[in-house]
């Protein structure tokens, strides 16, 4: 196999578009991600209290079906977020304050998606 010259620029036609994407990676790399990237739906909401808005959130998710749901300001303690259930979603990651009120964030991932959680507890030391 012959390696391309360093810093060779590749153009990839974006699926369903007349635009191209420039990259230093050969087009055969991560083709699965390139083909499906435009189909990924990510939803973010600064919810300011998940407990009292859970039904409203669930109704929205049922109608739009995002793959990943990012929630900030969930205002939940560690044990509360562990018990929070959203149909068809798994809790993928969370960050809960230990001493202060409010705050917190969590990520729910649709049950059809395989994922790995990267531990980040060692990063968040201040004011948690």
Interval 40-94: pLDDT, tens: 999 999 999 999 999 999 999 998 899 999 999 999 998 999 999 999 999 999 9
Contact indicator for 76, 51 with CB cutoff of 8 Å:
yes
Q: Which residues, at least 6 apart from 9, have a Cβ–Cβ distance to it below 8 Å?
A: 22, 23, 24
For residue 46, give the nearest of 72, 65, 75 by alpha carbon.
72
What pTM did the predictor assign? 0.67
The pLDDT of residue 16 is above 70: no
């Amino acid at each position: 196999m012959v390696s391309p010259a360093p810093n060779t620029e590749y153009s990839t036609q974006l699926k369903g578009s007349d635009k191209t994407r420039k990259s230093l990676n050969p087009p055969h790399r991560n083709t699965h991600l390139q083909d499906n990237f435009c189909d990924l739906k990510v939803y973010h909401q600064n919810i300011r209290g998940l407990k009292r808005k859970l039904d409203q959130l669930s109704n929205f998710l049922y109608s739009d079906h995002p793959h990943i749901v990012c929630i900030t300001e969930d205002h939940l303690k560690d044990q509360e977020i562990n018990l929070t259930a959203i149909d068809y979603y798994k809790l993928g990651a969370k960050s809960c304050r230990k001493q202060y009120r409010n705050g917190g964030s969590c990520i729910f991932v649709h049950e059809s998606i395989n994922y790995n959680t990267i531990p980040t507890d060692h990063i968040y030391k201040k004011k948690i």
